[in-house]
Structure 1
């Protein structure tokens, strides 16, 4: 694994300063850029370690605190091990914060994050990849549809509310997407029931989007997050295999 250099950075966002984590191979050479969207628990050691792993594979990775309007991360105090069933007050505090991040605000912010990567000496020129977890999967899908000329690949894992019946559901951007997409869905996930999985696939297929969606049998919502009760090691490693394969064939160093 390549040695990496990570640091906290501040990004000039539309409504203030967004704190973020930036990490890249420690070799002084620009590398393909990846925007990593957090889950609802936010920017914390687990997400930094995931970004480090991506950087070790040859990428420059930015993980923004998308809840920056509510303060620097962590915006809600978190235990080292997160078990929402044992700590329901965590979601009680996070719920209003999550709902306050409207699609319009999130996509205004996405422009700032992508611009930060475009200006980063450690990031190679050209389109970037996006990956997201839980709520971040929806942000990844929405970013691919809002900024199609800037996104070459987008992935989402144990995504939530990706294809609802609401007028602002992210799947409705399918006809604008030019990126290749991959989704790893948790099995029997209440945040993304089978009808939404089918609706997402139908929309992407109808729009001619290169995509693949897979159900991770037995995995729960949040299966990639090792600091939570939902973690599934096998499903997490499967996610890494799928994600790195997507990045390699779309923005990876081998394409330079």
Structure 2
């Protein structure tokens, strides 16, 4: 059995309330709201997708269920902003119970654009008292529907790193305008493509309090280095990642050591690429839990307590 949280919509607000436990069924897969389950649960199911969704629910519970909330109400809404007269649509999560002057976390999406995964992570992290801005690097309405479209859209920025940097820095400037934030405390995290974008921010010398890459691409682009890096950096990576293998991990560590960077790497043995993405074949709930805990500790040390 599992305890679930129900988030009734109140305009742009949702307010979690604990409701009676119920057995997880196929309806669980259709829910769009944040679900949390207890970790000590045994179910006998045959549907692989349901197993993954169930494991993710357990993970979410362990990550967020017991987070101390000053007020059980949160803001969660799209946020449209402009870069060079082009609209971009991000997503903001904020627990107003933590008051004003909240530290900001920029969340950078995977190669398939800003979707429910990033929104889920935004909601999870905002329960901790951070204002989270899930940014849009592709443009409003540009949401790849398949692998080929994801390759095309991400390739446009991989092939034009100055444009990627421009959009990243413009989104950071936008985040500083959000209500209830402290514009002087800001960190950035990213997943897969977003993890690669975090490293582009690192190489740009962006003035941030911290940078975290989840299973990102680690290769250093030709002609680039980390001499301008001034922020603490955390790399969360699978040791069996075929996309960014251990040779790239070693090369990155050597490049960071060469400039005496302030960095840490958490490497998860036997774990493949997109270990934190619950719909992925590579999903690993243990690495997901460990990396999320590492993220929270990193933000507490470098962002909240600053």
What band does the TM-score fall into relative to the shorter chain?
0.7 to 0.9
Segments of structure 2 that go 5 or more residues without pairing to the other structure are 1-66
The structure 1 segments of at least 4 consecutive aligned residues displaced by more than 6 Å after TM superposition are none
Cα shift at 1:39 = 0.9
Larger radius of gyration: 2
**What is the aligned residue count?**
233
Cα shift at 1:15 = 5.8
Task: Check if 1:9 corresponds to 2:90.
Answer: no
Question: What is the CA deviation profile of residues 163-212 of structure 1, one whole-angstrom value per residue up to 9, with x for unaligned ones?
Answer: 24x4155xx1x111111111011122122122211110011111111111
Matches within 5 A, 1:143-182: 143-149=201-207, 151-160=208-217, 162-164=218-220, 166-168=221-223, 172=225, 174-182=226-234
1:228 matched residue in structure 2: 280
> In 2, Cα distance between the equivalents of 1:119 and 1:17?
16
Task: Check if 1:63 corresponds to 2:143.
Answer: no
TM-score (norm 1): 0.85
TM-score (norm 2): 0.72
1:106 matched residue in structure 2: 164
Matches within 5 A, 1:98-137: 98-101=154-157, 102-137=160-195
1:32 matched residue in structure 2: 103
Question: What is the CA deviation profile of residues 189-241 of structure 1, one whole-angstrom value per residue up to 9, with x for unaligned ones?
Answer: 12212221111001111111111112111222111112322211111111111
Decide whether the 8 Å contact of 1:65 with 1:72 is kept in 2: no
Decide whether the 8 Å contact of 1:103 with 1:168 is kept in 2: no
> In 2, Cα distance between the equivalents of 1:104 and 1:14?
14
Give the SS at the match of 2:210.
strand
Segments of structure 1 that go 5 or more residues without pairing to the other structure are 78-89
Task: Check if 1:51 corresponds to 2:122.
Answer: yes
